[in-house]
Chain A
């Protein structure tokens, strides 16, 4: 099982992770904003995550951790 941790408070909604996810599992949550006023990243179907870590590699703000649990 793969656990994807998204630090929604640190996220600045830059969208770079959304663009690189090969399975298009990520998108910016248009319904909420974090304390900084950004739409943070959210994962739509974590079950389909293949743990390629592209999103984490692409994130400039250390918001994403991928673990095998």
Chain B
């Protein structure tokens, strides 16, 4: 027996996401974590640009939404001058792993005391479902209409594995939200990534495998299943780095 209350960290503005999109869900986990950690007044949101970029209307806190790909640079600027604030970025795979790859690698390498959530839905949702760096091989998108090939688009990018090679990272975990148990685990990871920042530890990165039913051309339920059958094979879940536990993969 339990209760479930809607988090006060949400402004209450109805979301623009498609039915079954994971962004609304992952953002809710971020908001719940912030509320449960009692940092609502210290937190500053830095959303990336893309479907999740409109979350500036949903996070019930100060919010600085920069240009596409620049979230981690803006977040670095904020955190460096306001170290007592809790600064987080919430970015899609395109924003973080494509146009923002440079900012991401260097923020992680500098060990910025930040919390970064990457919603990996293997596509550019807002612009209509184009291929992104994390699109799976063979996956059809509007710019890989016969399915992604290595020759045309290179290999899928594994951000958790990639960033775990940098000494500056403190905590990296890949989770997903396609089932209730996984949602609980994702919440735990996201909250941990914020807790680390509160304790001055950084860089914290949580990659969340997310579904994009509309551009995947699937129902929300099937999209959740596809994560479990296909995406997880390419992007295995787990903790990649956790310096508290001496985990380093």
Contacts and interface: CB of A to CB of B under 8 A. Distances in A.
Given A38-B19, A50-B1, A51-B1, A60 B219 contact: no
B17 interface: yes
Contacts, number: 70
B33 to A, nearest CB: 14
A58 B183 contact: yes
Interface residues of B, number: 29
A44 to B, nearest CB: 19
Contacts of B20: 12, 14-16, 60
B2 A12 contact: no
Interface in B5-38: 5-7, 10, 14-15, 17-25, 28
Contact of B221 (A2, A16, A60): A16
A31 interface: no
A10 interface: yes
B28 A53 contact: no
A53 B2 contact: yes
Nearest to A58: B180
A56 B2 CA distance: 11
Nearest to B25: A60
A54 interface: yes
B183 to A, nearest CB: 5
A8 to B, nearest CB: 12
B221 A61 contact: no
A59 to B, nearest CB: 7
Given A60-B20, A62-B10, A15 B25 contact: no
13 contacts: A9-B14, A15-B220, A51-B2, A53-B3, A57-B4, A57-B180, A60-B23, A61-B24, A62-B7, A62-B24, A65-B4, A66-B4, A68-B3
Pairs A-B, 8 closest by C-beta atoms: A14-B20, A12-B19, A56-B4, A14-B19, A60-B24, A60-B25, A14-B220, A53-B4
